[in-house]
A and B are shown apart, each in its own frame.
Chain A
Amino acid sequence: MLRFIARRILELVPVLLIIATVTFFMTRMAPGGPFDSEKNTTPEIRKAIEAYYGLDKPLLAQYLNVMKGYLKGDLGPDYKYPNRSVQELILSAFPVSLELGCLALAIALAIGITAGLIAAIRQNSLLDYSAMSLAMIGICLPTFVMGPLLALVFAIHWHWFNVSGWDFARDRVLPAMTLGFYYAAYVARLTRGGMLEILSQDFIRTARAKGASTAQILFKHALRGGIAPVVSFLGPAAAGIITGSFVVETIFDIPGLGRFFITSAFNRDYTLVLGVVLFYATLIVLFNLAVDIAQVWLNPQLKLE
């Protein structure tokens, strides 16, 4: 087990190196630069700014400089916000996204697994159909519709919450619901599918024949195998959900990481793009590792290797 984990973490190094290299050259190949704006300054001043950030050097030299910085743990200065460094931006925004993500994930799992279970037990009943129709609506309704809708009803009409901001505990409710509902829909469908598959297996029939109660069958025998699809889904989904959602953060004006992810690319904010991409990549790899471990725990037929 430990060897497995150590090996997977070592594998992270070449993966990140490749991602860093590809990202670096892709951002540099995109037309336009960080200091293009509708109001152009004089060419001399523009050159001076580029020289200050070392952008006048040959591309390969720039690449080596960036890599050298990363080895020293320095992610570089940010171009868009000149008095901030990239690590500072990521470290200030990540806790916010993490908090929002965890809340949304909790909502997604609580609602999704419950709905999926109910639908699976009462397959083809009215309950099943209504739960699955709701899930379908949840999947089809993008967060940029759901968010403003929740804000209109709960914040503007009923004044229960603030429309935007991240100051009080209650400011977490609407964004977490918006993000959570979307994932809950997926989780519900996956849970239902997984449970139906398990419930039709022989060992369940045996358990039933032996007189096990429905609750025992569900929670003791079926659930562990039934939520396997949900767990595989959660690996990349959790990495995505806790690094922040651009849309939800923009709608509710939340100072999270998701906004940097998108806007840095639009701004050609090279250092920030690279920093956020690598951060995200690391998280995905780690979450996939966690998923692999969880899968083995859930399904004794699998082995770590």
Chain B
Amino acid sequence: MVRPVRKIVVVGGGTAGWLTAAVIAAKHRSRIPGQFSVTLVESPNTPTIGVGEGTWPTLRSTLSRIGVSETEFFRQCDVAFKQGARFARWTTGAPDDGYYHPLMYPQNFSQLNLAPHWLVQNNGRSFCDAVSPQGRLCDEGLAPKTIATAEYDAVANYAYHLNAGKFATFMQKHCSEKLGVKHILADVRRANVTEDGDIKSLDTEQAGEIEGDLFVDCTGFKALLIGETLGVPFKGCHDVLFCDTALATQVPYESETSPLATHTISTAQSAGWIWDIGLPTRRGVGYVYSSRHISADDAERELRAYLGPRGKDLPLRKIPIRAGCREMFWKRNCVAVGLSAGFLEPLESSAIVLIEISAKFIAEQMPACREVMDIIASRYNEATHYRWGRIVDFLKLHYVLTQRQDTAFWRDNCDPATIPERLQNLLLLWRYQSPWFHDEFDRIEEVFPAASYQYVLYGMGFRTEVDPSSLAGQEKSAERAMRENLMQTERMRTALPRHRDLIRKIVEHGLQPV
């Protein structure tokens, strides 16, 4: 007799827990209420971590799919638009050193690779400005859409910066009211395991025993089910990504009309980098550093220097971070999503996008019965390991392209012994051809597309050798695409409102759903 999978139990009520519960419940909406159920068990006492305020444009389709109104999301979660990231002082460390990794693809990206054309032109225009309007939009603090653009539609591609604490509350309400997710406030005392090693149920302080067919571990760093119960080991990657501590704070604006950045600002320091994320209500700022390369006191001094006089007395929160992931993400009838699965420094906002991709996989591939679960689990593990490795490579790419020699942190980062083999091979390959469509980023859901690699490589001064004769026949289309980019840039600059003005309008009038 087959054992159908019908009771999904999500443990943990942070961003990971609520997003995963929402995505699963929305996908299986027609089976709820019925035999299928999604239950989220959350401790009434554990505070959520609440960093990770940057997202990826996938969140737009995720929110739309689960039926959230973008207007309400803006009103309730202190949301701002994010159009990319600016990396300052990563290449040479000079005060004017900086480049954008925008969210729009280069012009005509699916038809034509503009990178080699830009490389031979060498006309002084940055790669980003040559192929995309978005760096200019960020420079000028312009919004990626207008009040007349429908919810989730974009004029320029965008993601969000958000208040993660408010987002979890918002999602909880949406899950309970619209998606039929059962919410249980209870502390999990222990998980009961069957003879063959599956999780049978949870013993809770306040709600007795909770049974389930599939358990999703969203318990954060604690990793209650995947780690403590099932004993899946954690595999660190400190040898590749050195940062192991974060020093975080929140900075108020001078006034309600202070400019609001529409991109994440990431500024390299002597032993790590500082994130600066603008929400409409405050800025979130923090220093992610390697404690092997700098003392806590010196790190604090660097952070306070970045904050300027306004940051003199701001309280700082120190968060130890462990870069790495589980050796296995889905074991038996338990799958880990979010920090329980692993953690990487928030350099490219990969945390929430990974949650979305994982939740979508689980929802789409929901095993019909226990008998087929291991097949799905093994696929899931393979795909998730692949993504994890790709993200590590991509983050490391930011470090290995540096020309900085000023501290051991930067010198150590360029030591080949710390660079994953796949990345080393790619770096060799990219000296002779630029990453593009038919490169090896061939999964249906790549976390970072080839375009992202282009922006970082050429933003950081990497050179790919180009034989001009290999471009023969394409120059005209390349020229046209770059000209179109300039015209599009001008059109957008005149049409788009200021970032803060649009957010004020969204809160006041709302965006239309169409």
A and B associate in one complex: no
- B residues within 8 Å of A by Cβ? none
